[in-house]
Amino acid sequence: MLRVNQFQTPFPLIPSPLVHCITNSVTCETVANSVLYIGGKPIMTEDTRDFSDLYEQVGGVLINIGHLSEEKETAMELAVEEAHKHNVPIVVDNVGVSSSRIRKEVANKLLSFEPTVVKGNVSEMRTLCNLASHGKGVDAAEEDQDSSAMKELEEGLLALAKIHLNTCFLATGPSDLVVYQSQIVLLQNGIEALDQFTGTGDVVGALIAALLGSGVDVLPSVLQAVSYFNLCGEEALEIVQNDAKIASIREETLNQLSLLKQNESWQNGIKGDWL
């Protein structure tokens, strides 16, 4: 069992981290607001002329490959270089990597920069491990979520983690697999509805970048950001129970991002195990 008080709560985020996000325009606004709701400061820019000044202030960076273009690819590489120069933690979200060769090329190039965290849903992370993936577009497939597929993914991520010693790998889904060096954790919070509206994975990536940006260590940042988001979903379902329309669950999950952290014992709800 994961001991819930093993890690100090990261909230309030002090100092409030500036989180530079290069992300997709589908969920850009939701991602920016989510960073604000948990106490960070988002800035969404892809104009490389901003970067050298900006990185004097940036605490964490999110690179989400959901919407690619050649210009964006260049911006992503420059942002990662600036981040390294300034010792800024980097989160890479491999959105849609199972669905096109160019996304896989970009994902592999970004991985070679040794990001702090590399994430995706289970199908996306299978692609990164060179395992067969049934992911469709930006969504994961059920076939990639059964126990034998998860075991295979665990082994694939362990092998990647042996090569990339400074990178923590996160595969999200009904259970979330976290592999960092030789440590493996399986998290179990969340609700099914979190896979029924878009951008939940994008938000989780931004929350991780915010926690890293306020100085939280790598493994606690990943475990707490995923669990916090999923507990917000659980709270939301309780609140809207009698009106369980998907957009209401979405809205209440986002409301909970600013509310749940006011409960000092929010971590008591975390479910997970070291494997």
Ligand X SMILES: Nc1ncnc2c1ncn2[C@@H]1O[C@H](COP(=O)(O)OP(=O)(O)OP(=O)(O)O)[C@@H](O)[C@H]1O
Asked whether 88 and 82 are in contact (CB, 8 A), the reply is yes
Nearest by Cα to 199 from 74, 19, 28, 7: 28
The CB-of-85 to ligand X minimum distance in angstroms stands at 29
Rounded-to-integer distance, Cα 137 and Cα 103, Å:
11
44 is annotated as contributing to ligand binding: yes
The first and second tokens of residue 5, run together, are: 């008080």
Contact string (CB under 5 A) for Mg ion, positions 182-211, x = contact: -------------x----------------
Per CB under 6 A, the list member of 174, 215, 220, 269 interacting with ligand X is: 174
Rounded-to-integer distance, Cα 207 and Cα 203, Å:
6
Contact string (CB under 6 A) for ligand X, positions 104-133, x = contact: -----------------x------------
- In DSSP terms, 170 is beta-bridged to 119, 178
The CB-of-34 to ligand X minimum distance in angstroms stands at 11
Rounded-to-integer distance, Cα 209 and Cα 116, Å:
9
Residue 201 contacts ligand X per CB under 6 A: yes
The first and second tokens of residue 136, run together, are: 């469709």
Tell me the residue number closest to ligand TZE, measured at CB: 66
Chain positions contacting Mg ion, by CB under 5 A: 195
* Residues engaged in binding ligand X (CB under 6 A): 95, 121, 138-140, 172-174, 176, 190-192, 194-195, 198-202, 204, 226, 229-230
